[in-house]
Structure 1
Amino acid sequence: MAEPVDAAAQSTTEDGFLGGRLRLRQPVTGHRAGHDAILLAASTRVRAGYRVVEFGTGVGAAGLAVASRGERIVPALVEIDPDLAALARDNVRLNELAAEVVCLDVTGPAEAFAAVGLGPDSADVVLMNPPFHDAARHRASPDPARQRAHLATATTLEAWVHAARRLLKSSGTLTLIWRADGLADVLAALDRGFGSVMVQAVHGQADKPAIRILVRATKGGRAPLMLFPSLLLNDSSSQPSAMAQAVLAGEQLLPLGQF
């Protein structure tokens, strides 16, 4: 049986993901999990027994979606906000999954990571959804937690990729989601230490530019860049596409989660 949570019930909602198989308690206001987390999870390739670490887990959506596949995956979920980390722990119990939640600053020193069991060259997979909105082009939310979760600084991407590179074993993989107009920044950040980069664009509407990019890269990889067909969330009649529905319901992985 799932244990009762100790988070204030009045300040949270319980929402269904993966066709209702994954239940997440999350704040009514502030940062809330959505499609991005599930797309990230569906782009993350894992094998039984892999050491998987999620950076910026929030309430645990992406990491727990990966853990729910039943492949003996016990992810470490890293979150800087203690309130969100507490909710992530609640969600681990709610879904009766195995996962470790760590309250830690992703941009912190290697010693801080090692102190919680995340030493260098120890992970097979890192997945992350860093804050990616450009502060110069987006009005900051009055909610401090939402602002921290969504707005990137000039060094956010580079710092998060650096932390992933340090944590990953040789040939370990990093999977991330970022805004589509920042593809050049992502490729530049990955240029030091990563290769075998795979990219899939995500379009909200059939006739609109991409809104997100999903990227997987291998530490020390040497294979050339691979571009996969774009994922269309809504078709030309503004209805959810069959592929998007299958992925969001947890019935199908995206190409980066398979190759």
Structure 2
Amino acid sequence: MRTDKAPGLDVTEDGFLGGQLRLRQLKSGHRAGHDAMLLASATPARPGDRVADFGAGVGAAGLAVAKRVTDVDLVLVEIDATLASLARENAAANAIAAEVIVLDVESAAGAFAAAGLRPDSVDAVLMNPPFNDPARHRISPDKARETAHVASATTLENWIHAARRLLKPKGMLTLIWRADGIAEVLAALERGFGSLQILPVHADVTAPAIRVLIRAVKGGRAPTQIRAALLLNDESGLPNKQVQEVLAGKGILPLAMP
């Protein structure tokens, strides 16, 4: 990790995917980590697909997808202009073509269309929405960090609605959410999505799931599948080999497979 000073910003440059992806991000506030890389490795995409990353931050998840799948038409959607600027820098520094749009994911359809994101125009959406419940988590005094982490009562529903509007028929949504909120996700996905695949993520074999990765198909009708759990650490307490390969950019998760 290298710490740099950009004009008016205190940023670090960090390596992801075993150093294949270098990202500049703010030293304080929300920072990309394992969640973003797991989300990217669970996102199905093919060359030529138009892929939108909602709440992209500095571009971590979307750029990781583009590193894995060549020639995707990548759009990074981020409400914070400072993070969006860093996302543009990161795309250029990693030689990845990406359009970066400063936009609130909860905006109306007209705002999306004005930014070039028309209904039924995208093959895949990935998202890591703010998911902390303000009633159960101490709110950060850092406003940007609060925006990135804390969900309102309508955040999830509105983000999924935006994805449903934007996706083509049979387009795929991939998201990561806290495991204890899975009921909220399933309820929000009932409107317009099906063919769900759910991947629980556990810290280790003895712990309850801490995250769920979910892939859903717009208009899908296949039965829901719950995949074998992903353990971040194996039975001996050591880092799981599969997870380490994913984080090193050498593997993908089952949700990304056809």
Report the TM-score, using the length of structure 2 for normalisation.
0.96
> In structure 2, what residue type is equivalent to 1:150?
H
Where does structure 1 differ by over 4 angstroms across 4 or more consecutive aligned residues?
A: none
Cα displacement string for residues 30-63 of structure 1 (whole angstroms, at most 9, x for unaligned residues): 0100000000000000111001001000000000
> Hey, what does 2:201 align to over in structure 1?
202
Alignment partner of 1:216: what SS?
strand
Alignment partner of 2:176: what SS?
strand
Contact 1:134-1:151 at 8 Å conserved across structures: yes
Residue 213 of structure 1 and its aligned partner are, at CA, apart by 0.1
> Which stretches in structure 1 are left out of the alignment for 5+ residues?
none
Residue 237 of structure 1 and its aligned partner are, at CA, apart by 3.0
> Hey, what does 2:45 align to over in structure 1?
46
> Hey, what does 1:214 align to over in structure 2?
213
Alignment partner of 2:68: what SS?
coil
Q: Given the alignment of the two structures, is residue 18 of structure 1 paired with residue 17 of structure 2, yes or no?
A: yes
Residue 204 of structure 1 and its aligned partner are, at CA, apart by 1.1
> Which stretches in structure 2 are left out of the alignment for 5+ residues?
none
Contact 1:7-1:86 at 8 Å conserved across structures: no
Contact 1:196-1:222 at 8 Å conserved across structures: yes
- Separation (CA, whole Å) in 2 of partners of 1:234 and 1:70: 27
> In structure 1, what residue type is equivalent to 2:129?
P
> Hey, what does 1:89 align to over in structure 2?
88
Q: Given the alignment of the two structures, is residue 55 of structure 1 paired with residue 54 of structure 2, yes or no?
A: yes
- Separation (CA, whole Å) in 2 of partners of 1:70 and 1:198: 21
Cα distance change on mapping 1:88 and 1:6 into 2, 3 Å = farther
Residue 235 of structure 1 and its aligned partner are, at CA, apart by 1.7
> Hey, what does 1:71 align to over in structure 2?
70
Cα displacement string for residues 69-128 of structure 1 (whole angstroms, at most 9, x for unaligned residues): 242112100000000001101100111111111000000011110111100000000000
> Hey, what does 1:125 align to over in structure 2?
124
Superposition CA RMSD, Å:
1.3
- Separation (CA, whole Å) in 2 of partners of 1:147 and 1:177: 18
Contact 1:140-1:147 at 8 Å conserved across structures: yes
Cα distance change on mapping 1:46 and 1:133 into 2, 3 Å = same
> Hey, what does 1:225 align to over in structure 2?
224
